[in-house]
């Protein structure tokens, strides 16, 4: 890790443990090097840093471009590997940037649902971005489940702790059955969201609410 990233990682990790009751489960599954896509459910603004402090390597993630409009804050999050993306439209430049990072062997966090889900914890409809990254680079996809982050945002001192669970890896060897077109992208993205839902069910002992993919 770069010095500033490492310092920020340590500070945020200590604060998250103290305030949020944070703990990561299974972070050792994440390879220490090489390309990996960490695909997670998305409930809170806390989610990207929570995944970041869970693993012992730098991760990159996309953040809505509006967060970069206040220049000092934009510079801060950019130094922590946030990359701007224009929401509500196809931002090919942002996707291309993530592709290049994966080709360089970096770890990339992506939320297949595309935005935060405000319901009762279900898995949202899959966007094609995660599939485009995977099929363009051959990087494996690891499923991630963040539990309790939205609740802590609303009430920081509730007893329910925040947990980040790392699940199965979808190996590149399985990508051959997906076509490199919109139909194939939707199919793989739907599979990824389904695997996240499966992880949620294994952890919580219940099937999550979901939307049609």
The domains of the chain are located at: 3-204
Angstrom CA distances, 84 to 17, 71, 149, stand at 28, 13, 22
Q: Do 164 and 46 contact (CB within 8 A), yes or no? A: no
| pLDDT at 211 (0 to 100) | 44
Tens digits of residue pLDDT in 165-187 = 999 999 999 999 999 999 999 99
| pLDDT at 45 (0 to 100) | 83
Tens digits of residue pLDDT in 58-73 = 999 999 899 999 999 9
Task: Give the torsion sign (CA, 40, 43, 49, 51).
Answer: negative
Joined together, the tokens standing for residue 122 give: 């279900």
* DSSP β-ladder status, 23-25 and 59-64: unpaired
CATH architecture of the domain formed by 3-204: 3-Layer(aba) Sandwich (3.40)
* Higher per-residue confidence, 86 vs 137: 137
Tens digits of residue pLDDT in 43-53 = 888 899 999 99
Using CA atoms in the order 164, 150, 153, 116, what is the torsion angle rounded to 10 degrees? 110
- State how far the Cα of 80 lies from the Cα of 61, in Å rounded to an integer: 9
Helices (H), 124-178: 129-137, 149-154
Average confidence (pLDDT) over 108-116: 83
Q: Do 146 and 51 contact (CB within 8 A), yes or no? A: yes
> For 208, which DSSP code?
P
Joined together, the tokens standing for residue 183 give: 């139909």
pLDDT above 70 coverage of the chain, percent: 86
- State how far the Cα of 161 lies from the Cα of 165, in Å rounded to an integer: 13
List, in order, residues 6 or more apart from 190 with CB less than 8 Å away.
126, 213
Would you give the distance in Å from CA 74 to the centre of its chain?
A: 20
């Amino acid at each position: 890790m770069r010095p500033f990233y490492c310092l920020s990682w340590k500070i945020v990790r200590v604060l998250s443990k103290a305030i949020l009751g944070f703990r990561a489960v299974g972070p050792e599954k994440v390879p220490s090097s090489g390309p990996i896509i960490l695909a997670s459910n998305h409930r809170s603004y806390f989610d990207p840093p929570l995944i970041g402090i869970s693993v012992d390597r730098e991760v990159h993630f996309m953040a809505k471009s509006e967060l970069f409009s206040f220049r000092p804050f934009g510079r801060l999050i950019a130094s922590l590997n946030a990359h701007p993306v224009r929401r509500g439209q196809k931002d090919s430049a942002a996707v291309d940037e993530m592709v290049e990072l994966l080709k360089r062997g970096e770890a990339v966090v992506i939320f297949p649902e595309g935005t935060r889900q405000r319901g009762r914890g279900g898995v949202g409809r899959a966007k094609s971005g995660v599939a485009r990254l995977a099929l363009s680079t051959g990087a494996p996809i690891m499923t991630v489940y963040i539990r309790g982050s939205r609740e802590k945002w609303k009430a920081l001192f509730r007893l329910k702790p925040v947990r980040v669970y790392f699940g199965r890896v979808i190996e590149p060897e399985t990508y051959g059955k997906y076509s490199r077109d919109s139909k194939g992208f939707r199919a793989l993205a739907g599979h990824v969201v389904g695997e996240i839902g499966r992880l949620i069910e294994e952890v919580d002992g219940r099937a999550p609410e979901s939307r049609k993919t």
